[in-house]
Structure 1
Amino acid sequence: MQLLYPEIKPYARHDLAVIPPHVLYADESGKPDGLPVVFIHGGPGAGCDALSRRFFDPSLYRIVTFDQRGAGRSTPHASLEHNTTADLVADMEALREHLGIEQWVLFGGSWGSTLALAYAQAHPERVLGMILRGIFLCRPEEIQWFYQQGASRIFPDYWEDYLSLIPEEEHDDLVAAYHRRLTGDDEICRMHAARLWSQWEGRCATLRPSAQVLERFTESRRAYALARIECHYFINDSFLTPNQLLDNMPRIAEIPGVIVHGRYDMVCPLDNAWALHRRWPASELQIIRDAGHAASEPGIADALVRATDAMARRLLHLEPQAE
């Protein structure tokens, strides 16, 4: 297995004001004149952390990480105001311009893959390549699978906890039921709903149970932003038309890319990656046989690091590494 690169500290930090009231946190690490890559976190609402920088060779890459609106260290925390997919695409373009980057590599997983595709389709001339994990196309059937009926049949014990907050008469639309509680006036109810929502996702994210992954999902501040922003997006169809990302693939069909997807991904099933790969001639699909959804699972982490290494060699015209 290819290990993740060691932890590194940023050499620069930025607070980028966009549409009020939002101020985005971003940082840079690695090689200042290296190949630019932007890490696009999941959720929406999850934010970045020290792990986000460790998929890239710091001697080759200029690593940019940023927290999307309402997430992580961006402010205001968990804000839903002016928070749409188009807003996030515009933020990425504003960040690129702010940093003086002409073109960059996109690296994103789960919702990060969604936003990477939406950005690339809006600004294909700015994208050198893409490395995407746990493909999430935000189609209605994907939300139905994970938040209404589907994954519930694989994890009925975890599902019972997810349902525990919602009266039976509201079970016909659980996203709407959670949205009412996550945006209501009762702060205690909001926090409780956020924990249950995020716990459901964290429990299902790995093939083998992971206390570390679950702890990350349920940490109160992260869970609150994750649940509120995810639910806000999903009740609004992620501010995309039902098949928008697949329909627009001709715009970026020739951009080189690697798709990494766990065979047993219960959050974003493998057919998402399969559908994307079939519409993307320049992509390589790697199905990880012993993994679920999380980037931290060994097989997925290994494939992602190998993919970033290969992308750097390709774009920087370096000699292939000896096996």
Structure 2
Amino acid sequence: MYSLFVLCMFVVAVTAQTTTSSLTIIDYLTARRSTNLLNLIQQAGLTDTLKGSGPYTLFAPPESDLANLDTTDKAKLAALLKYHVANGQYKRADFYNEMSLTTLQPSSELRVNVYLAKGIITVEGQTVQSSDVVMSNGIVHLIRGVMTPPTGTVLDVVTKDANLTTLASVIKTASLETFFQDQKPITLFAPTDAAFNKLGSATVQALITDPALLKSILQYHVVPGTIYRASYHTSYLHTFEEADRIRLHQFLFFSYEADSGSMVGDELSATNGVVQVIDEVLIPNSLSAQVKALTAGTTTAV
């Protein structure tokens, strides 16, 4: 009973305080009984690293999320774990919006976002939940979920997604491929193929014949900055279409909207931003009359 009391007091002490102790990151995880994370760190060959001098910043996902990870591919597992460790020691006060952190995984950086309106910090979209936990060789931040390294630009995310084939096609028609590769950081609200079907084949085909209008419609779906769902509250944001603002809204607890489009599936991180998949094609007010005029006298049924 006494040993259990001492262990509990240790966890409370290192969790609550922000001054460096002689204990390492591995010591902290052991005391906290982060069994799943410790096992994965060992399998990934990172135990000695996180016992070493560092300094490192570890972003530790919940134990429940780690229990479901596939550990059959050891190289993939090691890459994932290394992605959760940044070189250097970063407290919450050190973070700023759109900050990039180098990680132990070569050529993979972590994007930090600070959303002042909601008073939260995210790393690759995962909310940082804890106060600073400083050890002798670095710092630990508890985060809401497992982070997945982005594997390409916003354009790459779109072209690889089987549900976004129409969007990929009209991006090419509007000559926006370079924009979605090079512009950063951006958030794309990406209509699915079903969303384009809902808009109607006549309207879609008419837009394809008017690349300038199509370009403006697509640019309305893009917001400067990386806007993860954790930051959402009712707000009106400038888009690259410029004349109109897009309305972001969180409905209840887990439903998110951009104008009238509901977000579906997971948010998809990219090297230059994030893709939020939505179930409608959004038409800004300033362009709605032009879009309707395209199909005047014809049916928009699919």
TM-score w.r.t. the length of structure 1 is 0.22
TM-score w.r.t. the length of structure 2 is 0.23
Greater relative contact order, per chain length (Cα 8 Å cut-off, separation 6+)? 1
**If you compute each CA radius of gyration, which structure gives the higher value, 1 or 2?**
2
